[in-house]
Structure 1
Amino acid sequence: MRPLLPTTTTLPLFDVAASRRIEARALLHSPDLMARAGLAIAKLALALRRGPGPVWIVCGPGNNGGDGHVAAQRLLEAAVPVHVGHVAPEHPSLVIDALLGLGLNRAPSAELLAPIVAMATCGAPILAVDLPSGLLADTGQPAGERAVRADHTLTLLTLKPGLFTGEGRAHAGRLWFDDLGVAPDEAPTADLLGPAAAPQRRPTSHKGSHGQVLVVGGAPGMQGAARLAARAALACGAGRVYVDLPGLADAEVADPGRPELMRGRLDDVPQAVGVIGCGAGGAIAATLPALLQSLPRVVLDADALNAIAADPALQALVRTRPAGSTLLTPHPLEAARLLGRDTTSVQADRLASARDLARQLGSTVVLKGSGSVIASPAERPALCASGGPALATAGSGDVLAGWLWAQEPDASAHTIACAGVDAHGRAGEVAGVLRAADLVERLAARR
């Protein structure tokens, strides 16, 4: 058993169907699997309980409930008072939520909703077994009106996607993992990202060795967005970074705060990585066709995405670009516009929405948000567990767009997206609010 986050390496994720198959095969070879699970729960409970009160264990009718009953027996053997049932005892030292688990596929009944509410109001810390009750394992969304908000979750045998995206992180609390001694025997459903190695610079490298970036955006009044993207590309290590800002006078510099940034247009750097749309406004629609047809690699963000969503001809241009050359970075509303759906349906299954959009446009998609999803047509999707609420601030998405493809222009969009999204998230793991310009410097310091 070990704490799960922050991840130190990429880990496999398994959806409900895969987890059930793995569990069924494991039970054939390890009939004591429930005994192992119950022992793991009891050990963690001993470390987490507060005070001398009883441990309240809320057991359901399935395997989760069975694990809870085994844990109760182990705790009794350790001379810990235990109360098993759906009605709260007085002054519990810990609640073990073993009510609902992997098999949940609909809203909890009124009978099961009552203990979920009671757990939330009893005042004791909550340890969820495998999943917080009421949370869907594949999507990270509550199945009904309520789901347990645990302080800790011990997930068993496999890692489930719903713990890391949607509302999963808000409900799961601190995550722990025990594989119960079973190695998965099939391919993962998705990857949980770990940190990627920073690109190595050769001793003989020069600025021409590390690519060029052209940031196109920053309409009057919104130039800060493009400048943030350009600063991020510069901090990432791009050899040259150019900014195309409409409305600047001929004598104005690209960014008075960063003299390293240069002004430029498509004709000046036709082989650059294009970062298109940050603060661009509606005028970007007119320049998108030339950019999409000329630039070898593009990151499409913000107003570029809105323009593409509104124009089937632009969508066709995106689809006809070479495989691995196009990266889209929508937030849920932008993804909803591109898919012709509403935001609620996108958020209801973030993995499926990102995969659908990747297939629809033949591109790599970063669906931003809690547990950002990276999906590409020919790749296994990935989830990012790094990051936090400090990144919920103006400009952090512009920084991500500029950072992604800056230093490794020859890498595939999927590889770049996985590395960049995880780095961006880790740099944003601070208390309070992180201003976007400060995020650039934190990213640079971590390279």
Structure 2
Amino acid sequence: MPHTKDELPDALYRAAQVRALDARLIAAGTPGFELMQRAAYATWRALVRKWPAASELTVLAGHGNNAGDGYRVATLAQRAGWRVRVLAVGDPQRLQGDAAWAHAEAVSENVGVTAWSAASELRGVVLDALLGIGLNGEVREPYASAIAAINASGLPVVAVDIPSGLCADTGRVLGDSVRADLTVTFIGLKLGLFTADAADHVGELVFNDLQASAETFSDIAAAARRLNVANLPRLAARPPTAHKGRFGHVLLIGGDHGFGGAILLSSESALRSGAGMVSLATRAEHVPAALNRVPEVMALGTSSANQLMGLLEKVSTLVVGPGLGQAGWGRALLSAAANAPLPQVWDADALNLLASGVVSLPRDCVITPHPGEAARLLGISTAEVQADRPAAALALSKKHTAVVVLKGAGSLVAHPDGRLALCHQGHPAMATAGLGDVLAGLIGALLAQGMDGFDAACLGVWLHANAGQQQGEFGRGLAASDLIPAIRQLLEEHAPCLK
């Protein structure tokens, strides 16, 4: 059955897996042309719902099954009395099998089919049926020019299965990609629709499984799971006899000269996310600000690692890195943390120091790099990380035997055992400083309350993204601290504190 944007399934697949699922449907007795008809009807219904007053359609068709879907939609629009024409970017003579039948049917229904050229005029709603999910190299001519023309048209655009030029596995733009207002995708959700460049190209997403049964998916493991309210890990309810000693003691370490704000944001986030007790080790100069902003946090002015030793024996969880710096002070404190047998969250300069080789990551860690930090940790470029974010997250997780949160559009949570979760919520207003500090403190608080690293990272990333989405509705000027009360509210809605 079809799914709207808020009812998407959890499972995300790579292109090869979706092609295998398609082949299974055909082998089980559903003719390929019937699947093409179902895809076309799903696209046509979504298109009419999106633009109910429209009456003209321009289809740009390639020469694969994606083009066949386009020819079938053109036939449906023609039967509905729309003004329709197909601009053939791929030679119709190259069409084979079901796609060739779809082309022949369109011609028999008097759909106008003409060769596309740079001078071709686009009118009405534009249907992208150019390239589909099989693309794995840079877009070549004439498709590159056709994509540019679609994007320059200013017309409403619907993409069949995936915007042409967007990699179905990674969400990377392969040279150029259609910017769709609506994408209708089939059989299984593609991982690349939710991360990297996808948010700028997919538009509204509608899914239709083309009546695939559960048996079709029985032994094909999803490449990733999309985080949503239904599958999030939950904190246990707190009984009436609850006390602070049962919910962990988080120690946050960071805030060198000039960077006190970062560690204060993390501390406040940990406190407001339910940690039983919160301590802060920072430069002495930042203690008055900490007492003023969050007097509930026990702030220790720290000039050397020796001052941490007694405190490390009393706490249950560490958050290290926000505002830490890479000078001697930060390196000494990080070294002390690395030797503590405690669950930890490493962020910011802790990751930069880890990449430089001056320290080793302890067990039971969650690391939260942005793409630049991930690149340094892997010894590759940021562009290479962004070219395949899922692969980068998994590689980092295996390299450091840690849970990895690869931040960015379509944040990913990777486990060394190969599990991969994705969070595609968020808001452009979140492009501001300090949000990573809030996330680090939040995950630290969830660890302190008894969650394991992967669950804490998944829940923390989802809470953080959805708080940002909620607060982002107010527009530009979002401050990182705006997320903290929103996170607290969302956490209580998701996992109420009391029975």
Q: 1:51, 1:93 within 8 Å by CA — same for their partners in 2? A: no
Q: How does 1:32-431 map to 2 (within 5 A)?
A: 32-49=34-51, 51-86=53-88, 87=116, 92-144=123-175, 146-182=176-212, 183=214, 184-185=217-218, 186-195=220-229, 196=232, 198-199=234-235, 200-248=237-285, 252=288, 254-264=290-300, 265-270=308-313, 271-282=315-326, 283-311=329-357, 314-315=359-360, 318=361, 321-322=362-363, 325-409=364-448, 410-429=450-469, 430-431=472-473
Which one-letter code corresponds to 1:435 in the other structure? A
Partner of 2:5: 4
Partner of 2:494: none
Q: 1:219, 1:247 within 8 Å by CA — same for their partners in 2? A: no
Q: 1:140, 1:164 within 8 Å by CA — same for their partners in 2? A: yes
Q: For 1:396 and 1:128, locate their aligned partners in 2 and report how far apart those are by CA, in whole Å.
A: 33
Which deviations, in whole Å up to 9, do the C-alpha atoms of 1:165-189 show, x marking residues without a partner?
A: 1101111111111111114231101
Partner of 1:435: 479
Which deviations, in whole Å up to 9, do the C-alpha atoms of 1:365-387 show, x marking residues without a partner?
A: 11110011111111411111111
**Greater Cα radius of gyration, structure 1 or 2:** 2
| Offset at residue 50 of structure 1 (A) | 6.5
| Offset at residue 4 of structure 1 (A) | 2.1
| Offset at residue 153 of structure 1 (A) | 0.8
Identify if the C-alpha distance between structure 1 residues 290 and 99 changes in structure 2 by more than 3 Å, giving closer, same or farther: same
| Offset at residue 122 of structure 1 (A) | 2.2
| Offset at residue 51 of structure 1 (A) | 4.5
Q: 1:54, 1:91 within 8 Å by CA — same for their partners in 2? A: no
SS across alignment from 1:422:
helix
Which one-letter code corresponds to 1:58 in the other structure? L
Q: For 1:267 and 1:358, locate their aligned partners in 2 and report how far apart those are by CA, in whole Å.
A: 31
Q: For 2:122 and 2:201, locate their aligned partners in 1 and report how far apart those are by CA, in whole Å.
A: 23
Q: For 1:166 and 1:266, locate their aligned partners in 2 and report how far apart those are by CA, in whole Å.
A: 42
Q: For 2:248 and 2:130, locate their aligned partners in 1 and report how far apart those are by CA, in whole Å.
A: 54
Q: 2:446, 2:456 within 8 Å by CA — same for their partners in 1? A: no
For normalisation by structure 1, the TM-score amounts to: 0.93
For normalisation by structure 2, the TM-score amounts to: 0.84
Which deviations, in whole Å up to 9, do the C-alpha atoms of 1:121-158 show, x marking residues without a partner?
A: 222110111110011111111112x1101111111111
Which one-letter code corresponds to 1:203 in the other structure? P
Q: 2:233, 2:458 within 8 Å by CA — same for their partners in 1? A: no
Q: For 1:408 and 1:362, locate their aligned partners in 2 and report how far apart those are by CA, in whole Å.
A: 17
Bigger shift: 417-426 or 283-292?
Answer: 283-292
| Offset at residue 114 of structure 1 (A) | 2.2
SS across alignment from 1:259:
coil
Partner of 1:26: 25
SS across alignment from 2:245:
helix
Q: 2:394, 2:418 within 8 Å by CA — same for their partners in 1? A: no
Which deviations, in whole Å up to 9, do the C-alpha atoms of 1:319-353 show, x marking residues without a partner?
A: xx33xx10000111111111111111111111111
SS across alignment from 2:351:
helix
Q: For 1:21 and 1:197, locate their aligned partners in 2 and report how far apart those are by CA, in whole Å.
A: 31
Detail structure 1 runs of 4+ shifted over 6 Å in the superposition: none
Which one-letter code corresponds to 1:16 in the other structure? A
Which one-letter code corresponds to 2:438 in the other structure? V
Bigger shift: 410-419 or 234-243?
Answer: 410-419
Which deviations, in whole Å up to 9, do the C-alpha atoms of 1:379-430 show, x marking residues without a partner?
A: 4111111112121111000000000130443322111111110110000012
Compare the two structures and name the one with the higher helix fraction. 2
Corresponding residue pairs, total: 436
Q: 2:343, 2:447 within 8 Å by CA — same for their partners in 1? A: no
Identify if the C-alpha distance between structure 1 residues 16 and 266 changes in structure 2 by more than 3 Å, giving closer, same or farther: farther
CA-based RMSD? 1.9
| Offset at residue 23 of structure 1 (A) | 1.1
SS across alignment from 1:428:
helix
